[in-house]
Amino acid sequence: MSDHHDNHAHGDHGHHEQSFVSKYIFSMDHKMIAKQFLITGIIMGCIGVFMSVLFRLQLAWPDANFGILNILGNMAPGGHLNTDAYLALITIHGTIMVFYVLTAGLSGTFSNLLIPFQVGARDMASPFMNMLSYWFFFLSSVVLCSSFFIETGPASAGWTIYPPLSALESAIPGSGLGMTLWLIAIVLFIVSSLLGGINYISTILNMRTKGMSMNRLPLTIWAFFFTAILGLLSFPVLLSAGLFLIFDRSFGTSFYLDQIWVNGVGALDHAGGSPILFQHLFWFLGHPEVYIILLPALGITSEVIATNSRKPIFGYTAMVLSIFAIGFLSFLVWGHHMFVTGMNPFLGTVFMIITLIIAVPSAVKTFNYLATLWKGNIHFTNAMMFAIGLVSFFISGGLTGIYLGNATLDINLHDTYFVVAHFHLVMGSAAIFGMFAGIYHWFPRMFGRMMNKTLGYLHFWLTFAAAYLVFFPMHFIGLAGVPRRYYEFSILPEFGIWDDVNVFISIAAIIGSAAQLIFLYNFFSSIFRGEKSVQNPWRSNTLEWTSPIEERVHGNWYGDLPTVYRWPYDYSKPGAEEDFIPQTVPYKDGEDDGHGHAPVPTKPKPETTPEEVTSDDRVLFSVVKRWLGLSKG
């Protein structure tokens, strides 16, 4: 076994020269792909956040003109946003943040970076598919952004693109070419997501190193695992929903359309479809999507909180089970987005019961985080602070989910600012904070340098305060009955009472967005000028810190793959000299496994271990050869 390792490792790794293109562009190295996902995600995030600033200007000062809005060209004549442009901005803001930043940017980055590292593999099961996954994502981003440069403007039917609005060009200009581009972008995105997901699952199941049994996986990996399964099962449904919509728009079918008469065109030929069908299909993805976003963030938080509290994560098994429960239940609750669509009230009762059950595993996770902090020795690294921020948002936003999941209360709260407040806290802010925690924590692993921690503190406090100042008051606006997606609030004089609050929110949003400039500066300058990192800067137990940190070649670990002897959370174990014991350290005589049992010894690896992937350019050729039938393999 060990011989095999030696030959393999020394033969293929460390000495192989890679061209610029294969190293930085069409790279198949999971570390580089992770960076590509991250940087694309950050760029898309900047675009998305910038859009939110633009429409917050409109919401706070509906009568003012802003020079900065001139960059939108004819969407904001004279520096004043028009109604269609406002709807386009909120639509693309939602799409970018949900899919491009919090799905691909978060899950794509950290699944790619951490799965091979933390399970102890040289690379993903299929580095080639992994590369394709990134490039489909990149293409998708380009297509989406290009819709800003067409005459009729980007899609503007809300990120949920409910037909008939999204299906009828005559209903809103954005439903012309802009909507077509949106759909193409999402189809490409789904392809990317599926390629990634299959890879993550097979890597986790098949490529764990010696001794890395499933119950020794870090919680990050468990989270990525369930996330990938959720994506694999739900994204195809969105794909079919999108294809049906494309058919309805372009080929005259009527999946979602029935009995429509629209201004300027008259009665349409469509008959027999149902707009509600689309909502069922959309939310069958849409709700798991919320957890596709949140679970990786929670996984990162588990890892970061345990490491920086110098304590084992409390209730490892309960944490895994609650991820599983949340993931499973998330497939059965999509109808809670549709309580007031006129859906049969009986269905409402079913969806309401299951929705509120999800609060139980979520509560368990929260309490376990609190128990992990209890009696810890907390190091306030930047990552730790963002992780604590995540838990705070998760509590605040999670609790309002109990209102919205209750069909009775949803009648009055549906589509108001209360909903905006809820999901921006629990899904938006929480997941973004998870992403920041991950970036600050694994920056040294990605770039071999440290980020500037004082700037990190400033970034954290500004962002944290701004997020609460922006979203907390929105609960009250929603409770006053103000609907979301309104261009201005002139419809009722009584809404005028919130004018000052809207100004306040916009200022907070602008400050919060400006604070991201600190992050950008810190991130990009640290890549080149940051302090050199030591091998294991956070004194962490997981495997990624055992692979040489200055490593710049494809394929992790120069020599043998590490062997794992214990779970990843042996922090501050009594009897140990240090306050951490990496997973690669064998049990001492008489040491228990931390749960009061004798440790399970790491057995020699069975012969059936799948062949390690040699991960260099030749993989590409072997795949191509196989396709062309040149190779028998």
Partner 1 sequence: MRIKTFKSLLATLGLVLLTTLAFSNVALAQEQTDTAASEAMDAPEAAADGASSWPSADEAIVAKGKELFNAKCNSCHELNKKVTGPALANISDKRSQDWLYKWIRNNEELRKSGDADAIAIYEEYGGSPMTVFGNLKDAEIDAIVAYTKNSEVLNKGGEKGPEIPTEAIDPVIAKRVNTALLIIGFFILFIVVLILEILNLVARLTGKEIVKWNNVNAVLMLLFVIVGLAAAFWEFFEHGKHVLPDASTEHGAIIDNMFSITFIITGIVFVITQLLLFGYAFVYRKQKGRKAYYYPHNNKLEVIWTAIPAVVLTVLVLYGLQSWDYIMSPKKEDNISKFEIFAFQFGWKARVAGNDGEFGEFNYNLISGTNPLGLGITEEYEKLKTEDIPSDIKAIEEKIAELEALPSLTDEQKEELEDLRDNLHLKNRHLIRLGDISSDTTLFNEKGYDDIIMEDEIHLMVNQQVNFRFRARDVIHSAYMPYFRLQMNCVPGMPTEFTFTPTKSTAEMREMKNDDTWDYYLFCAKICGSAHYNMKMKVVVHKEEERAEYDKWMSEQVGAFAKYRTKKEEKPEQTADGKATPAQQEETTKAVALVK
Q: Is 266 helix (H, G, I), strand (E, B) or coil?
A: strand
* Alpha-carbon 522 to chain mean position: 22
Q: Which of 550, 325, 295 is nearest to 445 (CA)?
A: 550
Q: How far apart are CA 209 and CA 222, in angstroms?
A: 16
The minimum distance between CB 374 and partner 1, in angstroms, equals 6
Q: Pick from 7, 83, 206, 631: which binds partner 1 (CB under 8 A)?
A: 83
Residue 572 found at the interface with partner 1 (CB under 8 A): yes
Contacting partner 1 within 491-550 (CB under 8 A): 491-494, 497-498, 501, 514, 517-518, 521, 525, 529, 531
Q: Are 330 and 358 in contact (CB under 8 A)?
A: yes
Strand locations in 488-564, DSSP E? none
The minimum distance between CB 329 and partner 1, in angstroms, equals 13
Residues 6+ apart with CB under 8 A from 65: 78, 79, 80
Instruction: Decide whether 6 or 500 has the Cβ nearer to partner 1.
Output: 500
Q: Which stretch binds partner 1 (CB under 8 A): 27-35, 116-124, 456-464, 535-543?
A: 456-464
Residue 247 found at the interface with partner 1 (CB under 8 A): no
Helices (H), 480-612: 499-529
Contacting partner 1 within 57-76 (CB under 8 A): 63, 65-68, 70
Residue 608 found at the interface with partner 1 (CB under 8 A): no
Residues 6+ apart with CB under 8 A from 68: 54, 57, 79
Q: Which of 496, 473, 487 is nearest to 54 (CA)?
A: 487
Q: How far apart are CA 268 and CA 538, in angstroms?
A: 63
Q: Pick from 214, 411, 624, 630: which binds partner 1 (CB under 8 A)?
A: 411
The minimum distance between CB 489 and partner 1, in angstroms, equals 8
Q: Is 571 helix (H, G, I), strand (E, B) or coil?
A: strand
Q: How far apart are CA 395 and CA 372, in angstroms?
A: 16
Q: Which of 367, 363, 398, 379 is nearest to 305 (CA)?
A: 379
Residue 556, CA distances (Å) to 125, 207, 253, 615 in order: 13, 13, 51, 10
Q: How far apart are CA 391 and CA 93, in angstroms?
A: 24
The minimum distance between CB 5 and partner 1, in angstroms, equals 32
Q: Which stretch binds partner 1 (CB under 8 A): 9-17, 126-134, 398-406, 556-564?
A: 398-406
Contacting partner 1 within 317-356 (CB under 8 A): 317-318, 340-342, 345, 348-349, 352-353, 356
Residue 366 found at the interface with partner 1 (CB under 8 A): yes
Q: Pick from 89, 221, 285, 385: which binds partner 1 (CB under 8 A)?
A: 385
Instruction: Decide whether 379 or 618 has the Cβ nearer to partner 1.
Output: 379
Beta-bridged to residue 416, according to DSSP, are 483
Instruction: Decide whether 43 or 511 has the Cβ nearer to partner 1.
Output: 511
Contacting partner 1 within 469-488 (CB under 8 A): 472-473, 476, 479-481, 483-488
Q: Which of 431, 367, 359 is nearest to 402 (CA)?
A: 359
Q: Pick from 48, 231, 273, 428: which binds partner 1 (CB under 8 A)?
A: 273
Instruction: Decide whether 134 or 464 has the Cβ nearer to partner 1.
Output: 464
Site mask for partner 1 (CB under 8 A), range 285-324, x = bound: ------------------------xxxxxxxxxx------
**Helix (H), strand (E) at residue 400:** helix 382-404
Q: Which stretch binds partner 1 (CB under 8 A): 40-48, 399-407, 430-438, 606-614?
A: 399-407
Q: Pick from 46, 53, 276, 332: which binds partner 1 (CB under 8 A)?
A: 276
Beta-bridged to residue 532, according to DSSP, are 449
The minimum distance between CB 487 and partner 1, in angstroms, equals 4
Residue 244 found at the interface with partner 1 (CB under 8 A): no
Residue 84 found at the interface with partner 1 (CB under 8 A): yes
Residue 598 found at the interface with partner 1 (CB under 8 A): no
Residue 253 found at the interface with partner 1 (CB under 8 A): no
Q: Is 513 helix (H, G, I), strand (E, B) or coil?
A: helix
Q: How far apart are CA 435 and CA 439, in angstroms?
A: 6
Q: Give the chain's length.
A: 633
Instruction: Decide whether 528 or 627 has the Cβ nearer to partner 1.
Output: 528
Instruction: Decide whether 551 or 591 has the Cβ nearer to partner 1.
Output: 591
Residue 233 found at the interface with partner 1 (CB under 8 A): no
Residue 106 found at the interface with partner 1 (CB under 8 A): no
**Helix (H), strand (E) at residue 454:** helix 453-479
Residue 164 found at the interface with partner 1 (CB under 8 A): yes
183 burial (CB, 10 Å; 0-12 / 13-18 / 19+) is buried
Residue 468 found at the interface with partner 1 (CB under 8 A): yes
Q: Please give the angle made by the CA atoms of 55, 192 and 331, to the nearest 5 degrees.
A: 80
Q: For CA atoms 288, 289, 295, 296, give the dihedral sign.
A: positive
Q: Please give the angle made by the CA atoms of 118, 121 and 127, to the nearest 5 degrees.
A: 110
Q: Are 597 and 215 in contact (CB under 8 A)?
A: no
Count of residues binding partner 1 (CB under 8 A)?
144
Q: Which stretch binds partner 1 (CB under 8 A): 121-129, 186-194, 195-203, 451-459?
A: 451-459
Contacting partner 1 within 174-193 (CB under 8 A): none
Instruction: Decide whether 116 or 434 has the Cβ nearer to partner 1.
Output: 434
Contacting partner 1 within 191-220 (CB under 8 A): none
Give me Rg for the CA atoms of the chain.
Answer: 25
Q: Which residue has the tokens 């049990």?
A: 587
Q: Pick from 42, 75, 87, 323: which binds partner 1 (CB under 8 A)?
A: 87
Q: Pick from 442, 464, 557, 565: which binds partner 1 (CB under 8 A)?
A: 464
Residue 257 found at the interface with partner 1 (CB under 8 A): yes
Beta-bridged to residue 580, according to DSSP, are 571
The minimum distance between CB 161 and partner 1, in angstroms, equals 10
The minimum distance between CB 143 and partner 1, in angstroms, equals 22
Instruction: Decide whether 236 or 537 has the Cβ nearer to partner 1.
Output: 537
